[in-house]
Each structure stands twice: as C-alpha cells, then as structure tokens.
Amino acid sequence: MDALREEVFSDKTQRSEVRKAPQNKKKFRKEWLCCWIVVALPFIGYIIFNAFPIGISIVSMFTDIEHNQISTMTWNNFAHFKAFFHDAKFLHSLGITFWLTTAQFVCLGIALLIATLLNSNLPGTKLMRTLYFIPYICSTVAVSIMWGWIFGSGKAGVLNSFFGTEIEWTQEAKYITWCVYFVILWQAPSYGIVMLTAALRGVDSTLYEAAKIDGANTWKMYTKITLPQIAPMILFLALAGWQGGLATFDAVKVLAPLTWSGTAGPENMGLTTSYYIYIQGVNFSHMDYASVMQWAMCIITFIGSYIFLRLRKRTEENL
Amino acid sequence: MRAQIANYTLSKNDAAQKEFRRKILRNIIVYLSLALYTVFLFFPFLIVIITSFTTRQELADATGFVWIPQGSLEGYRILFTNDPNAVNGIPSLLIGFFNTMWQAILPTVCGLAVSGLAAYAYAKYDFPGKNKFFAGNLLLMTIPLSAGMASYLFYAGIGWTMGTASVLPLIIPGLFGSAGTIFFIYPYIKALPDGVVEAAKIDGMGFFGIFFHIILPLAKPVFLAQFLFGFVGCYNNYSGALLYLMSQKQLWPLQLALQQITEFIGTRYTNAQCAAALISMLPLLILYAFVQKFFIEGITSGSVKG
C-alpha cells in the first residue's frame, strides 16, 4: 500500500518539475474531463450509498423510529443505549458469535495443514487444490441445507444411521451450535487453502537450501523459515476469518430458523449478533435499536482487525 | 556397541535405500491425509445426490440411511410442480435463476467497468488533482465502514424498499465501482507500456476507445478474475435479498428462493430439499469447471505479495 502511495507521490514531484518549464504549461484537455468523471464515480457512489446510510444509522441510534420510516424520528434521550446495556440477549448472541468465530481459526489451522501437504508437489496435488476450492463457490444457504439433512431426519438421517441414534441434531439446544460450527469447518478452509498454497510457493527456495547446508531438519525448516515467511498471509486470513466469523448469518438463518416461540433455533442457541440485528430490525421493525448493536459489533470487529493488522505489519517487518 | 559399528559401516547404498523408504512413507501419509480430506469434502455432495433421487415413501420406511434408492425423480418433480412460491405458474427456482443472473451480472459488469476506467485514469493519465483522488481512494479502501443492515433506514427513506424499487439497493450501489477493485487492477494497467497508449492517441483514439480496444484486451486475465469473484459474491448473496426483496416474490434471486422453498417443504420432502440445494449449486459448479484456472490465479495473484 505504501509502495503505491510513494509511486504516486513520486509522479507528483516529477510533474511539478515539468510544470516549472513555461513551454510545457498544461492546457485543459478533454481527456481530463473523462478522467475526473471516472475517478469521481466511486466517490459519489461511496458518499450516497455508504456515507449517508452510515450517517442515518448513527442518528437513528438516538431516536425512536416507527416502522423504519425515518420521517417519524423523535429524540428518545438515550433509551436505546440504556436498553442495550441491559440486553442479556445481546450478550448471549455475542457469546455464540464468538464461539462460532473460533471455528474460523480452526479452519485456518486446517487450511495450513492441507496447504502444507499440497505443497509437497506430489502428482495429483494440483487437481486436489482445484477440488478443495469448491466449497468456496457453494452458497452457504445450499451448504447449510446439505448439512441440515445430514444432521437431521430421525432414523433415516445419515449421522443417526451411522451412530445408531435417533437425535434431531438441529432441534436440540445442545447440538445446534455444533451443527453450524461444522458447516463453517466444512466451508471456510477452502479460501485459506488456495491462498496459503500460493504463499508457500512464493517462499524463496534458496532459504531452504541454505538451511539444509546448515543441517536443519524438516521440522526446524518449517518453523524457522516457512512459517515466518507466510506469517503475513496467515494473519491476513486470520483477519478475514475474524471479520467473517463475527458476521455469521446465512448458516444460522437456515439451520436455526425462527421457532414459533420467537427464538432463533432451540433456546436461542443459533442467535448470532447479525441474526439478532436482523430479527430486531426486520421482524420487529426496530432498525433504530438494531443500529446500536450494529455499531457495537462494528467497534468489536474494528478492535480485532486493528490487532491483526498490527501483527501483520510486524511480521512483514521481520522478514 | 556392535550396532553402532554396524551403523558406521552402512554402505552408501543402504543409506539411499533408507532415505527412499522414508520418502515413500512420507508420501503415503500425505496422500492418506489428503484422501481423508477429499472424502470429508465430497461426502455431503454424495449424500445429497443420493437422497435427491430417493422417494418420500422410501425415506419414510427407512430404518437407516437409504444408500441405494430406486432412482425416482420425485424430489425434482415436486420443486417444479408443487411450488408454493411460483409466480404465474413458473417455479420460483427458475425465476430465481434468471433474477440472479441479471441482478448479479449488471452490477458486476458495470462496477468493474467503472473501477477499471478509474484504475486506467490513475495509471495512464496525468490529470490535475490525481494525487488527492488517489489518496482519497486509499482511505476508502483502508476504512471499509458500512452501515450493514442499518442501511435499510436510508433506503426506506428514499423509497427503495417499496414494490419493485426494492431491488435497487442490491444493484445501484454496485454500479459505482469500488476502491478495492481499483487497487487490484491498478498495478496491472500501470505495468502496461505507456507507448501503447501514446500510439493509440496518435491514431486518434479517445479516452474510452483506448480503454475498451487496447487496455481491456491486454489486461483480460485480471478483469476476468475480478468479474468471477464479483459474480460469485452476487450469486451467493442471500442476506441482502432477504433484507430488501422478501415481499417481492417475482424478484427473488436464487438463494432466497432456495431458502424459502426448502423452509416451506420442511422435512416432509427431504428429497426435494436436497434436489433444490443441488440445482442451485449446479450453475456455479459448471462455470467453475470451465474457468477454474482464472479463479485460482485471480484469487492469489493480487494478494500474495502481501
């Protein structure tokens, strides 16, 4: 990123030198207009569809809004914040979200293992890498339906016929979170595998040769050379996993649909924060209150992301 | 002691053989682990394919998982004949597929064109204010703030959550390109020789002509990769459609139609549930089979450098 910035700023210094020469004085050119338009478009889009919604949702946190129509906004003296700090359901959902986020890090471990194995460059590993990417392109909705069937349906269910049990895994508070956990374990490593295989391939092979001459064994080479070299990529994936994990929604929406008693799955065990935000905002039309939770999540996500980015920068400096 | 001496006297040949045996063992372990993971990944597909061809009666009578069904198409038939969400008799999965196509392709292609043009302007033109714009773009990318579901308030405010207009929040924002895509494409266009652009200018080509006739063909792989990722993202987008399009059956994209029909069918017809999941995954899997090279190269090329 910094390299990009430097590149552009060095352009600037060159240009200002050119500008000093009077015969090269810049005249307005028609191309500039095209440039300005195409360059400005992303900013316009950002301001209209990102900055405005952000502004409105920030304001809405301090107001009561009826039926999600902003024309009905009235100041409510921090009522949402008072409610928010006493919302046990939010804390509960936060716990479940954190628990499901740990799945992302387990996935990172799986991805690292599989990528290392693929890096052995044995015949067939290229095909496997292609196959292992397939879960990434499958929609989480379809994947959750798939696993829902494996976990479900009494005696005829796959899991039950394996274990000789008759448990509706997705209907029991004890198991539902594990079902979602499993869906993540199945789907999330695929991205990491592809990224880490590429990162492993990018490690300078002369480093290994030098270590071999020094008599290092395979394990030592892996921990002292490979891991530090791919550490930036690992931390990038950890960052993506953190952000993705905290936003877990599709899988719980499918596997833990709202029950008649209004809980997300049995005993609310499928209630992640994004699901809770959705229920509050859409089912109860309390987008104003949902905004409070949304921004709380935003802060939590940001804190974690900042830590991962700092760590990543440090590992890059150590290279 | 004797063993030690024996070790010392191991001939070179023995050492090589030992090394060879170790290598074989290592390879067996690697293949075994990878095979295990492959089974884990493809086992659910197998199960779902089998069940989609099982009849309801077979499932009801079963005392365990039905591994060898009679091969009936009952599950598929139900999806296309007994669809409660059908609009004018057209099953919702079919409508969903076409809706997904245009709702995914329109913002992906248009957004990519805008991002590409902006990257091209940054890379090949020296217009006043370029540095300020570029720095601003960098800022947008590094702080990816978004209101998430709370954006609903804004779209409700401008009337984009009523009737057919409720598809607009899913499409219009994507048309403006994105800072991330610009930075992904920028280095590729920057690396193209300036002489190409200069020559085209002398030939009398304009700003857009050069982009579409010269830059685009030269940077095809990066554009294709970005298109594929944008397209897959839109194709699999479920929460956005759920938020805005729930009341507009005729506009449901595939993922929403899939979730709705499987929830409606419930466990009465698991064969139809499995069939629906398969049908909705199939188009992307076919696409992937043809262009997997671009997918994998595209995903890794931009970020490996760090």
Helices (H) and strands (E) in chain B, counts: 16, 0
pLDDT for position B14? 81
Summarised one tens digit per residue, pLDDT across range A30-50 is 888 999 999 999 999 999 999
Question: In Å, how far are A120, A207, A221, B22, B211 from A213, measured between CA atoms?
Answer: 20, 10, 12, 20, 51
pLDDT of A254 over the 90 cut: yes
**Which range has the worst mean pLDDT, A140-144, A311-315, B31-35, B79-83?**
B79-83
Half-sphere exposure of A145 (CA within 13 A, CB side): 34
pTM of the model: 0.88
H/E stretch holding B80 reads helix B74-81
Q: Which residues, in sequence order, are CB contacts of A57 under 8 Å at separation 6+?
A: A287, A291, A294, A295, B147, B150, B151, B153, B154
Closest CA relative to residue B29, chosen from A116, A200, A132: A116
* CB-CB neighbours of B177 under 10 Å: 28
Partners of B87 in beta bridges: B90
With an 8 Å Cβ cutoff, is B32 touching chain A?
no
Mean pLDDT of A262-285: 91
Which amino acid, residue A112? L
Partners of A64 in beta bridges: A74
Chain B residue at shortest CA distance from A40: B133
With an 8 Å Cβ cutoff, is B204 touching chain A?
no
**Which range has the worst mean pLDDT, A24-28, A31-35, A72-76?**
A24-28
pLDDT of A19 over the 80 cut: no
pLDDT of A26 over the 70 cut: no
Task: Quote the tokens at residue B190.
Answer: 């920057």
pLDDT of A12 over the 90 cut: no
- Chain A positions in Cβ-Cβ contact with residue B159 (cut-off 8 Å): none
Taking an 8 Å cut-off on Cβ atoms, the answer to whether A278 and B243 are in contact is yes
B100, B126, B188, best to mutate vs chain A, most A CBs in 10 Å:
B126
Closest CA relative to residue A2, chosen from B178, B306, B129: B306
- Cα distance between residue A35 and residue B119, in whole Å: 10
- Chain B positions in Cβ-Cβ contact with residue A240 (cut-off 8 Å): none
- Closest CA–CA distance from residue A265 to any residue of chain B (Å): 13
pLDDT for position B38? 95
- Cα distance between residue B152 and residue A49, in whole Å: 11
- Cα distance between residue A137 and residue B281, in whole Å: 8
Calculate the CA dihedral of residues A64, A66, A71, A74 and round it to 10 degrees.
-20
- Cα distance between residue B77 and residue A59, in whole Å: 50
- Cα distance between residue B287 and residue B234, in whole Å: 14
Summarised one tens digit per residue, pLDDT across range B295-306 is 887 777 655 443
Q: Which three-class secondary structure state does DSSP give residue B87? A: strand
Could you give the ipTM of this predicted complex? 0.89
- Chain B positions in Cβ-Cβ contact with residue A133 (cut-off 8 Å): 288, 292, 295-296
Would you state the CATH architecture of domain B88-256+273-298?
Orthogonal Bundle (1.10)
- Closest CA–CA distance from residue B117 to any residue of chain A (Å): 6
- Cα distance between residue B109 and residue B223, in whole Å: 10
pLDDT of A104 over the 90 cut: yes
- Closest CA–CA distance from residue B64 to any residue of chain A (Å): 4
- Burial of A65: CB neighbours in 10 Å, binned 0-12, 13-18, 19+: buried
Taking an 8 Å cut-off on Cβ atoms, the answer to whether A1 and B142 are in contact is yes
Question: In Å, how far are A94, A250, B125, B201 from A15, measured between CA atoms?
Answer: 53, 50, 12, 20
Summarised one tens digit per residue, pLDDT across range B28-50 is 999 999 999 999 999 999 999 99
The phi, psi pair for A91, rounded to 5°, reads: -60, -40
Q: Which one-letter DSSP state was computed for residue B72?
A: -
**Which range has the worst mean pLDDT, A18-27, A105-114, A266-275, B272-281?**
A18-27
pLDDT for position B153? 92
Q: Which CATH superfamily is domain A82-318 in?
A: MetI-like (1.10.3720.10)
pLDDT of A79 over the 60 cut: yes
| Radius of gyration of the CA atoms of chain A, in A | 26
Taking an 8 Å cut-off on Cβ atoms, the answer to whether A125 and B299 are in contact is no
**Residue showing tokens 């990009």:** A4
Mean pLDDT of A237-261: 93
- Cα distance between residue B139 and residue B118, in whole Å: 16
B57, B176, B263, best to mutate vs chain A, most A CBs in 10 Å:
B176
Taking an 8 Å cut-off on Cβ atoms, the answer to whether B126 and A150 are in contact is no
* CB-CB neighbours of A120 under 10 Å: 13
**Residue showing tokens 């006739």:** B213
> Out of A35, A141, A194, whose CB is closest to B296?
A194
- Chain A positions in Cβ-Cβ contact with residue B274 (cut-off 8 Å): 145-146, 149
Q: Which three-class secondary structure state does DSSP give residue A282? A: helix
Q: Write down the mean pLDDT value for chain A.
A: 88
When pLDDT is cut at 50, 70 and 90, the band that residue B67 belongs to is confident
Taking an 8 Å cut-off on Cβ atoms, the answer to whether B238 and A140 are in contact is yes
Question: In Å, how far are A97, A112, A315 from A234, measured between CA atoms?
Answer: 22, 8, 10
Contact between B281 and A139 under an 8 Å Cβ cutoff? The reply is yes
Chain A residue at shortest CA distance from B245: A282
- Cα distance between residue A112 and residue A91, in whole Å: 32
- Cα distance between residue B58 and residue A60, in whole Å: 54
Mean pLDDT of B8-30: 81
**Which range has the worst mean pLDDT, A16-25, A125-134, A275-284, B140-149?**
A16-25
Packing angle, helices B179-191 and A2-20, rounded to 10:
60
Q: Write down the mean pLDDT value for chain B.
A: 88
Which amino acid, residue A102? T
Q: Which three-class secondary structure state does DSSP give residue A78? A: coil
Summarised one tens digit per residue, pLDDT across range B188-218 is 999 999 988 889 988 888 899 999 999 999 9
H/E stretch holding A74 reads strand A74-75
Contact between A239 and B142 under an 8 Å Cβ cutoff? The reply is no
- Cα distance between residue A299 and residue A292, in whole Å: 11
pLDDT of A1 over the 90 cut: no
- Chain A positions in Cβ-Cβ contact with residue B48 (cut-off 8 Å): 146, 149
- Cα distance between residue B148 and residue A143, in whole Å: 23
With an 8 Å Cβ cutoff, is B128 touching chain A?
yes
Summarised one tens digit per residue, pLDDT across range A136-190 is 999 999 999 999 999 886 777 788 888 878 888 888 889 999 999 999 999 999 9
Chain A residue at shortest CA distance from B27: A122
- Cα distance between residue A234 and residue B6, in whole Å: 46
pLDDT for position B4? 55
Q: Which residues, in sequence order, are CB contacts of B3 under 8 Å at separation 6+?
A: none
